[in-house]
Structure 1
C-alpha cells in the first residue's frame, strides 16, 4: 500500500475535545509530532500540548558519541567530548523545534476565536485511524501533503526575514 507523508489539521469547537484527540493521535503508528493550539475568546493563542517523537535523542546520542571519542584523551577527553557532542546535538534539536514552532504560528492565523486545532505530522498508509479520531471527537479534518506545508512555512519564514531586513534598512 502507498505511504504518504502528511500534515493533518483538525479544528474543534472545544478545548477538551482537542486535547482528548491529541492524546489518542500520539499513539497512531507513523505520527512524528503533534500539537494542540487554542485561541481564546479574546484572540490569545496558546499551545498547551506539544510532542515530538524521539525528542532528546539527537542530544543524548551525540553526547555519548562525543564521550566515546573523548576516551582517547582520558578522563578530561571524555568530559570535553561528551560536552561538545551534547552541545552539537542540542543545537540540532533546537533548530528542529524552532522550525516546528514557526510552523505552528503560520497555521494559527486561520484559527478562529474560542476554537482549538490539533496539528500532526505523520506517515500513513491509510487515513482511517486519524479520520476516526477526528470524527469521534467532532473535529473537522484537513489533510495536506507535508512537502506543501513545509514550502508554505519556508515561504512565510523568508517573507518574515525579508520584512525584518527591510525594517532594519529603514532604521539605518
Structure 2
C-alpha cells in the first residue's frame, strides 16, 4: 500500500464540501487512512491561483495548509515558476476534463490545473488506501465526481525538482538584473 495524492473534481462547489465532510467520516471509520486534505478553488483574478478554502491534517501533526505538502503544491502553482512554465495555459484555453488530457499531463502541477479548472472547486487528499472502493463509491457513484490518483513519491520528487528550478531561475534573474544595472552604470 503506497501513499497517494488523490485529486477529486466535481461539477458543483457544494459537492466538494460534501465530499470533504464525508471523507472525514471515512477516516474516522478507518476506511481510509488520510494524512491531509484540502478543499481547493482555482481562481482567476488577473493571475491564476489556487486557494485553499478548508484544510485538515488527519495525523495530529498540526500542519497548517501553508506548511503541508498540499500547500507546497498550491504554492508552486501560484508562484513565478507556475507562471513561467505556463501550467495554466490549458485552463486559459478552456481545458477539458477528458481522460486523454489528464494522461498527457506531464507533471502533478499540470494535472491539478487540468482537473480543477478556472472557477472550479475540488479536493486534494493525501492518503493510504488499502481498498479504493469506499472513496470511489462516495466520489464517483454518490456525488458524480472524478478521481485521479498519483503516487506520493512522484509528487514529492516533482516538488523537489520544481523548488530547485525555481531557485535556479530566481538566482539567474538576480544575476542578469545585476549585470544589466552594472552595464547601465558603466555607460
TM-score of the alignment, normalized to the shorter chain, above 0.5: yes
| C-alpha distance after superposition, 1:72-92 (max 9, x if no partner) | xxxxxxxxxxxxxxxxxxxxx
CA drift of 1:44 comes to 5.1
Alignment map for 1:72-111 (pairs within 5 Å): 97=67, 99-105=69-75, 106=77, 107=109, 108-110=112-114, 111=116
State the secondary structure of the residue aligned to 2:147.
strand
| 1:141 to 2:147 alignment | yes
Structure 1 residue 168 corresponds to structure 2 residue 171: no
* Cα distance in structure 2, aligned partners of 1:98 and 1:124: 20
Structure 2 SS opposite 1:148: helix
1:33 to 24, 33, 36: 36
Q: Distance in 1 between matches of 2:127 and 2:68?
A: 19
Equivalent-residue separation in structure 1 for 2:161 and 2:49 (angstroms): 24
Q: Which runs of 5+ in 2 are unaligned?
A: 78-108, 179-187
Indicate the SS of the match to 2:67. helix
Per the alignment, residue 113 of structure 1 pairs with 118
- The superposition leaves residues 35-93 of structure 1 with CA deviations (integer Å, 9 ceiling, x where unpaired) of 0111247555321111112133xxxxxxxxxxxxxxxxxxxxxxxxxxxxxxxxxxxx5
Q: 1:6 aligns with which of 1, 4, 7?
A: 4
Q: CA RMSD in A?
A: 2.4
Secondary structure, aligned partner of 2:52: strand
Do the aligned partners of 2:38 and 2:124 also contact (CA within 8 Å) in 1? Answer: yes
- Give the alignment's TM-score, normalised by structure 1: 0.68
Q: Per the alignment, in what secondary structure is the counterpart of residue 117 of structure 2?
A: coil
**Greater Rg over alpha carbons, structure:** 1
- With the length of structure 2 as denominator, give the TM-score of the two structures: 0.63
Once residues 132 and 171 of structure 1 are traced to their aligned partners in structure 2, the CA distance between those partners, rounded to angstroms, is 54
SS at match of 2:155: helix
